[in-house]
Amino acid sequence: MARHGGRGWYGRVVAAAVGVTAVAAATSVWTAQAGQSGGHQAAARPAAPKATPVAATIVHASDGGDRAVNITIDDGPDPLWTPQVLQVLRDNGVKATFCMVGTQAQAHPDMVKRVVAAGHRLCDHTVSHDTTMDKKSEAYQSQQILDAERQITKASGGVRPMYYRAPGGAFTPYSRHLAASHGMRPLGWNVDSKDFERPGTAAIIATVKSELHNGPTLLFHDAGGDRSQTVAALRTLLPWLKQQGYSFGFPVR
């Protein structure tokens, strides 16, 4: 999603993320200590298969070809708005890519599973949606990306994110290559619907129509506030895109 400042909702997410990371670290230490004491060693768990690395360049193209668009939905999942977005997509026979914030996925695993069950794809949108990630250390970037990958994968029941979208487009060469090495293609966008600003349903529709020539990947949101305008805009835009001869695909991997 585009960069925005002063978001109280994300401030709370950051606080939650810090707590999650601290608990995870403490658990790791306890587990290691427990394994070294008492003369009994826990049975080794089978290692999860490694993801196949993908290209580290930021993708915009659609796997559906020149007359296809990619619908991407950021910042969720949200228990109120994600089901409504899913219903509009279902009504129009459209599959989308959901770029999820790790703590949101952790809080709403049922929503993550519903997204996967409906045939949509998952995307890592970091733990706490820090739009200044490109100014932070590599250690911080790694924590944000890989912790979110684990949170989303666990919430989904084992389905890994296929893409990584930096909050606000705050990619770095390091973050792109790290994500790609974990099988997550860096994902950009061509059309920012500006729905996050809640400019009105008509304005969201007009923005998408006027910017569609920029490329196939469209950006919407299903969390971070009242998304009723987004839901209403999608109800109009998805049939309109079909009428214009567009099909719907996923971002190229």
Indicate the burial class of 70 (C-beta count within 10 angstroms; 0-12, 13-18, 19 or more): buried
Q: What is the DSSP letter of 187?
A: B
Q: Which of 74, 78, 147, 192 is catalytic?
A: 74
DSSP 154-180: HHHTSPPPSEE--GGG---HHHHHHHH
195 is catalytic: no
Query: From CA 219, how far away is CA 166, in angstroms rounded?
Result: 13
Q: What is the DSSP letter of 195?
A: G
Enter the tokens of residue 245. 């001869």
251 three-state secondary structure: strand
Its sign, for the CA torsion 220, 226, 229, 235, is: positive
40 is catalytic: no
DSSP 8-34: HHHHHHHHHHHHHHHHHHHHHHHHHHH
Residue for token digits 């950009």?
188
Q: Which of 75, 130, 221, 222 is catalytic?
A: 221
Residues taking part in catalysis? 74, 221
